[in-house]
Structure 1
């Protein structure tokens, strides 16, 4: 192993075949997970693990390596097949499994993959739990007891964990929702929602058209889905549909397009849901949790309607942690990860879509009408590819540019500088009252980072 931390903000992620997604490390991970479960619950006689996957070609290889490592006494494994990440989290809790494992790299392209983990209650593992597992992996790799992947074939439980339970759960979240007469477009990103999204909305009465719902193992998120919502926007206008939903590869986020083709991201979704929940008495503690990347316009909109905004670190597990701390029930990210704690413990794109439709039906208003008064401040996000994740404060050139930017933005904007938890990227978010100014600031910081640690 390298000195890099194995776990990022959302499990383990990388390019398949390269660290950390090598056969040796994934087998070691399986071994470590089995040992970790046994150490955690010493009085338990057997352990039950559920594994799901998205549509990437590498998913089956990763599952095979994991199964080899999990080939331990008293470990039973159920294969859920291709399911969205929130479905795997739900099923882990539903079947009372001890651990849920989702093989996915979310919105990344097919060359990348990842492994996410959920405990028996459907929550993502804590940083402390991830550290425990990582130590077991290091210990195993250093030992002389390494197992060959060609050891004995692991006999897993191969019955499918029926996704019908998940679809039934989604419908139960909006029991009165009738979509008869609505035209809906779904962009499935050639991902895990491909077999489910169109059928879900059609079952509720909608005339539903699907884009990018033919996964072939290599086309997940390829110029489609939540990172390219303009496709759904154009198609909605052409089909004269009422609304479009663009999901990502593992179905944990969604972006909207209205009948005019206008695009609405996570901040807009949170604004319209929070307003409706407040009015109907469903917003606990009058609180919404967003992240440091959400637009200042969301603060203003919520302040005007009497909702408190609390910011968390980027990553839906940090949003969830803050929701629990503040005794709330709703929050999300600008990227389209939205958490409805009364129904789910992770971001869920299809659940979010249903909630939006429920609000539109109940209110009889359009998205634009519901978020009237939401004024976005100019915001620019610049990503810089980096070879290492060094402390920004320890790079004099970067520190100098950041200090100058903070002085220029005082009282009229914000600067957020952070590393991606899932990719080798430095993210620069600048927000202010002047587009030229924030572009100049972002570029100056990006250049300083590139000079220090750029690729």
Structure 2
């Protein structure tokens, strides 16, 4: 069987392999078998996609066939399932979600008992089990794994966890905030959280219908939020993605505040509080050079990892650092959680605003180096270093930049795309260099050649 797990679990079009009934049931069986021979308890949550309930039941059917027990959390953000898995003593947690993808896609994310994303070794063991099992649905009782009504107790536990992260000593100033929940997993808990701390947010995208998750809303579509921020004269706006593990902000003018700016403002606050262990922040190779320079001015070191919040989490743990994240808005505060959490990040932003007695507009000031990111659809995924035309274009760009910028080429972990990122002091220069590399990719491995 082909590799199932990408950088963020299993992902694809719902009802088609690998998210067809037989494969998902096999995944459930393999998951339970790999966890423990003694009836593991597995917490399952999902987002608002119309396919979620079917995949949830198929997975639970497979888990039951191997003697495991599925406990249904219902619609909850991915980080809620990660937190509850650890907090409530489950053997594993699973989220049925495709994050920021459109509704017709879905996915399976697995978390260990400690609430972190499953290791590559664990995922490879599941893949091996499926390759041995072969095609066809496993033999399971038809009635096993049927979903039960989830308890709202899980939601309450998660909300209390988020509220505690704000701190009892923090008094929020009067704030007008717009919140976009992407018609996704945060559509209930997001508004409840803000109302519980005394805010009355302007709400957007809180009416999921199974097909409108991420559609023209959420962290990948900020135009509607920007309009709301300006129309209602908000202090700032907050946008979550479909499964609630990332957050992007807009200041009072509608200017985007990405993960880099949030890392900077929160790291500064943590250092003032004497809580910034390791005097460092972990980010990925995608973070702008301006973040590195600004942190250095505060005597804070930026450490970079490959793209993926699970790699950020691993490096944070290795270096004993409590804050890290991605430019895309996956931010990890390891004092409170083992994974990226959009609502937890929002609580930490609010905490910083309250303690600093300042506005997001000023606290999140970060003048980024010009950066160009281009996605090229590809028909294959060879090592780019083995394609002479691409290698030559990259080397020419690096030679011209001569240390003044960066060139980064990587494949998407979830889509048939090659991502080209360039950064440098002159926007026209890097746009031209990016176009040269893009042309080399399109002419050699681009899907438009087919």
> Which residue number corresponds to residue 440 of structure 1?
432
> Which residue number corresponds to residue 386 of structure 1?
378
> Which residue number corresponds to residue 230 of structure 2?
237
Deviations 1:301-321 (A, max 9, x none): 001111000001111000000
Deviations 1:365-399 (A, max 9, x none): 12232244x32100010001122221101111111
Deviation at 1:157, TM superposition (A): 6.1
* Residue 196 (structure 2) pairs with residue 203 (structure 1): yes
RMSD: 1.6
> Which residue number corresponds to residue 228 of structure 1?
221
* Equivalences for residues 25-424 of structure 1 within 5 A: 25-38=23-36, 42=37, 45-141=38-134, 146-147=137-138, 151-154=142-145, 158-160=149-151, 162-176=154-168, 177-179=170-172, 181-372=174-365, 374-424=366-416
CA contact (8 A) 1:230 1:263 kept: no
> Which residue number corresponds to residue 16 of structure 2?
18
Deviation at 1:175, TM superposition (A): 2.4
Name the CA shift for 1:361/1:152 in 2 (closer, same or farther; >3 Å).
Answer: closer
Q: Aligned equivalents of 1:21 and 1:178: distance in 2?
A: 46
Deviation at 1:150, TM superposition (A): 7.2
Q: Aligned equivalents of 2:66 and 2:214: distance in 1?
A: 38
Q: Aligned equivalents of 2:29 and 2:412: distance in 1?
A: 28
CA contact (8 A) 2:33 2:66 kept: no
SS in 2 for 1:71: helix
SS in 1 for 2:111: strand
Q: Aligned equivalents of 1:155 and 1:353: distance in 2?
A: 35
Q: Aligned equivalents of 1:156 and 1:210: distance in 2?
A: 30
CA contact (8 A) 2:25 2:137 kept: no
Name the CA shift for 1:17/1:156 in 2 (closer, same or farther; >3 Å).
Answer: closer
CA contact (8 A) 1:48 1:99 kept: yes
Q: Aligned equivalents of 2:327 and 2:345: distance in 1?
A: 13
Deviations 1:178-202 (A, max 9, x none): 4462211100111100011112111
> Which residue number corresponds to residue 442 of structure 2?
450
SS in 1 for 2:372: strand
Deviation at 1:73, TM superposition (A): 4.9
The list of structure 1 runs, each at least 4 consecutive aligned residues, that deviate by more than 4 angstroms after superposition, is: 155-159
Q: Aligned equivalents of 1:413 and 1:57: distance in 2?
A: 44
Name the CA shift for 1:397/1:109 in 2 (closer, same or farther; >3 Å).
Answer: same
CA contact (8 A) 1:36 1:136 kept: no
CA contact (8 A) 1:226 1:246 kept: yes
CA contact (8 A) 1:198 1:209 kept: no
Deviation at 1:61, TM superposition (A): 1.4
Name the CA shift for 1:420/1:440 in 2 (closer, same or farther; >3 Å).
Answer: same
Between stretches 428-437 and 440-449, larger displacement belongs to: 440-449
CA contact (8 A) 1:65 1:149 kept: no
TM-score, structure 2 length as denominator? 0.95
Deviation at 1:348, TM superposition (A): 0.3
Between stretches 355-364 and 20-29, larger displacement belongs to: 20-29
Deviation at 1:235, TM superposition (A): 0.8
Q: Aligned equivalents of 2:87 and 2:208: distance in 1?
A: 27
Stretches of structure 2 lacking an aligned partner (at least 5 in a row): none
Between stretches 402-411 and 375-384, larger displacement belongs to: 402-411
CA contact (8 A) 1:251 1:348 kept: yes
SS in 1 for 2:6: coil
Aligned residues: 445
Stretches of structure 1 lacking an aligned partner (at least 5 in a row): none
Between stretches 309-318 and 399-408, larger displacement belongs to: 399-408
SS in 2 for 1:207: coil
Between stretches 287-296 and 421-430, larger displacement belongs to: 421-430
